[in-house]
Amino acid sequence: MELRGKFANVDLDALVDNRVVRTWLYFGMFWLMVTPSVGVLISSTFNYPDYLGSGNLELTFGRLRPVHVNGVIFGAFSTLFIGLCYYLVPRLSGVRVIWSEWSVLLAWVWNVATLAGLVGLLFGDSDGLEAGEFPLYAKVAFFIVVAVATAQFLITISRRLEPAIYVALWYLIATFVWTTMNFVLGSFILPYTISGINSAAFHGLYLHYIVGLWLTPAGYVIIYYFLPISARNPLYAHKLSLVGFWSLALFYPFVGIHHYLYSPIADWAETLAVVTSMLLIIPVWTVLVNFFGTMMGKWHEFGRNLPAKFL
């Protein structure tokens, strides 16, 4: 791949701290093998309710499902995504990630907290909020790691060689900023200061911030970076990608209350959730058009393009 402009004489591979990336990815692959297996294990109880026994609380559905859900979100997906960010950011910015010497320590803190939190869930130490069941000691560690990683990436991107920001970095910046704020809501405010129907409403927001403002844009970061490279084609439409970005940012924060229709929550909030849920067709279709457009002229290679198949 020929580099141009200020990137012309830059060795992108030399900018990446491979030890950091590998540490995060090794941890992520471990969780990717373990935590989905817990989901398979507990799904079998629908057909064989007693095969895990009935006298052990740690093996009941109510204990194992949070282990599966939180393990997949924070153990498998998040660990792999953060590891890939340490690979993407220097290559898209043209400069090394700052405070790189901290990054391996952050990986250990994140994954030890994940392990401690999952063990705590098995023994009933839970906040009782879906996708936010982890006990406080795990959440504090997650918040610290995400906050430090956010600072690392923001400062690194601010020192980029080219003034224009590629769309993958748009999503990456937003993902980490949104999630840092969401951790404050879900970890330190919601479980302790909000009660009653307001707790349900804010939990809907927190849960959908995890799904729509962490998992979803994180996936877009990966695809917007790797798809053009694997297809050896330029991105189909940069402006279209910005439509997808801003529509996601505008509409997704309000959709959480659609889980609580016809509840005591205010009608205007429920209506707003329904309308914005329907409007999510805009970011969905703009992103899909961009992805398929990027493959134009390269579909004949799709059968041999393993990365594109996964993306």
Task: Name the percent of the chain in helix, strand, coil, to the closest 5.
Answer: 80, 0, 20
Mean pLDDT, all residues of the chain: 93
CB-CB neighbours of 57 under 10 Å: 11
Does a structural domain hold residue 71? yes
> Do residues 13 and 101 share a domain?
yes
Does a structural domain hold residue 170? no
Q: Are 200 and 260 in contact (CB under 8 A)?
A: yes
> Do residues 13 and 149 share a domain?
yes
Does a structural domain hold residue 145? yes
Mean pLDDT (whole number) for 56-84: 95
> Do residues 193 and 62 share a domain?
no
Whether 114 has a pLDDT exceeding 60, the answer reads yes
Using the 3D structure, point to which of 96, 130, 164 is the last residue of a domain: 164
Q: The CATH number of the domain where 3 resides is what? A: 1.20.120
Per-residue pLDDT band for 73 (boundaries 50, 70, 90) equals very high
% residues pLDDT > 90 (the chain): 80
Predicted confidence (pLDDT) per residue in 221-235, tens digit: 999 999 999 999 999
Q: How distant is the alpha carbon of residue 270 from its chain centre?
A: 26
The phi and psi torsions of 229 (rounded to 5 degrees) equal -70, -45
Number of domains present in the structure of the chain:
2
> Do residues 17 and 157 share a domain?
yes
CA–CA dist 7, 162 (Å, integer): 8
Whether 10 has a pLDDT exceeding 90, the answer reads no
Whether 1 has a pLDDT exceeding 70, the answer reads no
Using the 3D structure, point to which of 115, 133, 164 is the last residue of a domain: 164
Predicted confidence (pLDDT) per residue in 252-294, tens digit: 989 999 989 999 999 999 999 999 999 999 999 999 999 999 9
Per-residue pLDDT band for 311 (boundaries 50, 70, 90) equals confident
> Do residues 132 and 191 share a domain?
no
**pTM of the predicted protein model:** 0.94
> Do residues 204 and 56 share a domain?
no
Full domain range(s) for residue 219: 187-311
